[in-house]
A and B are shown apart, each in its own frame.
Chain A
Amino acid sequence: MGLGTAAIRAGAASDVGRARESNEDTALMSSGVFAVADGMGGHAAGEVASALAVARLEKLGGRPDVTADQVRAALLAANADILAEAERNPEWAGMGTTAAGIARVVVAGSAHWAVFNVGDSRVYRFADGELVQLTADHSQVAELLAAGEITPAEAVGHPLQNVLTRALGMDPAPEPDLWVFPPTPGERFLMCSDGLPLELADEELAPVLRRQADARRAAAELVRLAVRAGGRDNVTAVVVDYMPDTDSEVDGDTTPRPAP
C-alpha cells in the first residue's frame, strides 16, 4: 500500500486593476484550504465582507478531519457573520462577497478535495493539459445562458454581467455549491475572482498554466496579463499544485476475483 505523502505548492497574486480604486478581493492559502473571495459593497464594505468569508474558511485550515459538511457550515457561518456585521455598521448594509475554492476534506475515511462556490468567482482544474471550469457561476447571465435564453455571444458584455444570484451576505442564506472528488497527483487548480475571466478567455489561461511550473509565477503572470488586457476589475488568482505522489498504487488494476 502506498504511503505517498504528497505536497501542495501554492501561489497567489492580486491586483487592484486599472479601473477600481480599491481591491475588494481576499485570497486564502491555508493548510488545506485555498480560496478567493470577491467582496462588493461601498465604503470599504466589500473588503470587509470578503475578509469575513475568508476568516471563516481559514478556521478550517490546519485540521486533519474537516468534512464537507463543515465546509458548507463555514460558508453559512460566513454569511451570518457578514449579515451581523452589516447590522452593526449600517453603512455596510448590503455588503456581500463571493467565495470559491477548494478544501481538503475527509470522506469515507480518506482525503478528498471539496470544491465550493457561492457567486461568480471560479475554480478551474488543470490536468493532462486540459483546463476545466469546476464551478458554475451564480450570475444572472450564467443562468440565462444555462437556460438557453441567451447565446454565448449575447452573454459577452451583457448588462446583467454583474448581477449575482448567490453571494455570501444574503438573507435567507444562499445554498453553497459543494462537491467532492478524490485528489489526483499532478493536478493543478486555479481559483480566481471574476476580474480574471473578464479579461482572459479560458484559451488564454491554459498556456500560462502549462508554461509556468511554479505556482507563484503562474498566479502572478495570470494577474499581470489580466491587468494588461484591461484590468477593469480587481484581479486575484490562486494556483495550487498537488504534487505528484511518489508511491501510489490507487490507480492500479482491480484485482479480479471469481464471483461467489
Chain B
Amino acid sequence: MSDPDYSPGAWVVIAGARSWLFADVRPSDPVVARCWDLIRDGADVERVLGAIADEGLRAVRSFAAVQHERGACRVIVRGAARVNVLDMSGETCELGAEGVATWLDRTVDGPVAELRLTGDGPVEPLRMPLAIGVALASFVRITVAPRSSPAEPRVVEPVEPLESGVVEAVVVPVVAPQRVASTEPGVPERFDHLFGPSLLWQAEPPLSPEVSGATLLPPSDEGSGAAPAPPLTTGSVGTGGASAATGADTTGDHGAGAGVPSQWQPPSHQPTSPWHVDESGIIQAISFSDRPLPAPAPAASGPAASAPASPAPPQVADEIPQDALATRLRSGGPTVPAVRCTVGHLNPPHADTCRACGAAVPGQEPVLIARPALGVLRLATGGEPISLDRAVILGRAPDPAAGTGQGRANAIRVDSPGRDVSRSHAEFRPDGWQLVVTDLGSSNGTTVAQPSAPPFRLEPRGSAVVEPGAVVTLADEVSFRYEVGP
C-alpha cells in the first residue's frame, strides 16, 4: 500500500507497516511510546489494543486502530474517532462507536481502496506524507493499493508451502505404550504403568457447506495389542470433513489390556476421516488412590527458607510479569504495595530486612504490584511444597468452598490414615503480605508454633497470623511449615 498522508492536528497518529493508531491522547503519554514500539515492530492491532486496554480506557478515550492485510481490514473504533472505508468502486462505509461503552471492532472483507480516519477536531487542508512514524494529526488517509512498495516490509510471502510449515510445527512425540505390571489391590502401587499413550487431535479444514453434526468414530478396540505408534503429526491442509468425535476408555483394574497405543495419523486427505485418529483409541487409567504417592525427589523446586542468602541475579524482578498488575487490577485480584531489598526480592513497604534473604531494604517509594506468592507450605513428611499464591484449604476431603474468604481457594487433600484430620480442617489465606491460618471447626484442632515460641492451639474457627518459619499442625498429626525463600 502507498504511504498514508495526514493533516496536522491535535491527535496522535502512529503509522506502521501493517497497522495504524489514531488516538486522542497526549503525545507524552507513555501509552504512545508503547504503541509505537508495537506498531513499528509489526505487532497485530490486537496487541495495540491490549496496550491501550492495559493503560486504562480512560487514558485513551477516543481512538481508531486499523490493520490491513491481504484484502481484509480490521477496524477498531472508540469514542469520537471515525473510520471511513472506501472500496474499489468508491462506495464508503463509516464506522463509529457512538453509544458503545467500550469500542467497536469490525473486520471489513473485500477489496478496500482507502481508509480515512477522523477525530473530533477540524481538519486542516494541508496534507503531509507519513510512511512509518508518529505525528500529530487531525486526519489520516491510508491508501491501500495492490502494489508492492518499500513501505510494507512486513508482508512476507511464505517461503515454503504452508503445509510443511504446519506439520513441522506440531509434531508431537508419542508416549510409548507401557504394560500393566499389576493393579491388584494391596500391591504397592507404581503409577507409571497406568499411563498409556495420549491422543491429540485437531480438526481439518475446510467445512463442507452442509454440516450434519458430529459423527461418532467407532469405539476403542482394546484387543489390538501394543504396536509401536508412529510419530504424531497434526495439522494439515486438506479437504477433510467437518466434524469428528472420539473417545478413550479406561478401567484401572483390567490388567494387561491397557496400553493400546493411539495413533495420530498424518493427514490422509480422505474426506471421510477428518480426524485421522486410529480406531484403536486409547486405554488409560489414573489412580486417585488415597495412598501417598512415591515421594517426589526433594528440592525439585522451591528452595527452602534455609537456603543461603547469596545475592540472586537481578532477574528476580522479572518474575512478576509486567502485565500481571494490569490483569489483577482489571479482575479485582489481589495487589500489594511493595519495595525491593538490595538483591531485588519483593517486600512489604515497611520492611527493614528482606523477608526472603535477610538483605537490607533501602528506603524507597513503594509500588503497587500483583501480589506474588507469599511463600510455600512444606509438608513435614516431604513432597512438593504448596504455593501460597492464593488461599489453601487443607483437610482429609477438603471442600473448596469451605474457606473464610471470597475467591477460589486451592483445596488440598491431606493424608490421614487414622482419619484424625477433618474433611476441611484448616485454611491458609494470604491477606496483604500476611498469611492467616484459620481452623475450620476441626474435630481434633489446629496447633500453631511460631518460630522460637511455644506452640498454641487455635480456638475452633479461630485465626492467627503466622510468621515465616511457623509450623502448623493439624490434629497433632500432619505438620506444615510456612517457608519464605528467595
Contacts and interface: CB of A to CB of B under 8 A. Distances in A.
Interface of A: 1-18, 20-23, 25-33, 42-44, 47-48, 50-52, 54-55, 58-59, 61-65, 67-69, 85, 89-91, 93-94, 104, 106-112, 136, 140, 143-144, 146-147, 149-150, 158-160, 162-163, 165-166, 170, 172-175, 179-183, 185, 214-217, 219-221, 223-224, 227-228, 231, 234, 236, 242-243, 245, 247-257, 259-260
Nearest to A67: B384
Contacts of A42: 69-70
Contact of B102 (A28, A68, A144): A144
B202 A254 contact: no
Contact of A252 (B43, B44, B101, B419): B419
Interface stretch (B80-88, B209-217, B356-364): B209-217
Contacts of B410: 107, 179-181
A250 B296 contact: no
What are the nearest 7 A-B pairs in CB distance? A23-B203, A30-B198, A22-B205, A216-B247, A94-B44, A64-B191, A13-B245
A91 B293 CA distance: 46
A4 B289 CA distance: 5
A205 to B, nearest CB: 15
Given A9-B250, A93-B42, A146-B331, A106 B185 contact: no
Contacts of A62: 175, 178, 192, 195-198
Given A48-B170, A250-B413, A15 B199 contact: no
A108 B192 CA distance: 19
Nearest to A86: B44
Given A67-B384, A90-B154, A12 B247 contact: yes
A89 to B, nearest CB: 6
B422 A245 contact: no
Given A23-B203, A52-B170, A223-B243, 8 more contacts: A13-B245, A51-B234, A93-B44, A108-B415, A144-B101, A159-B102, A163-B46, A254-B421
A234 B379 CA distance: 44
Contact of A174 (B189, B289, B321): B321
A150 B44 contact: no
A143 B330 contact: yes
Contacts of B398: 181-182
A248 B321 contact: no
B444 A256 contact: yes
B50 interface: yes
B289 A3 contact: yes
16 contacts: A5-B253, A10-B248, A12-B201, A21-B207, A22-B205, A22-B207, A27-B201, A47-B166, A47-B170, A62-B198, A90-B42, A109-B383, A144-B102, A160-B105, A185-B288, A248-B290
Most chain A beta-carbon contacts within 10 A, residue among B156, B321, B322, B442: B321
B235 to A, nearest CB: 5
B162 A12 contact: no
Nearest to A248: B290
Interface in B205-259: 205-207, 211, 213-216, 219, 234-235, 237, 242-253
Contacts of A63: 192, 195
Given A146-B332, A223-B214, A254-B444, A2 B69 contact: no
B294 A65 contact: yes
Contacts of A217: 216
B204 interface: yes
B5 to A, nearest CB: 26
A22 B239 CA distance: 10
B301 A31 contact: no
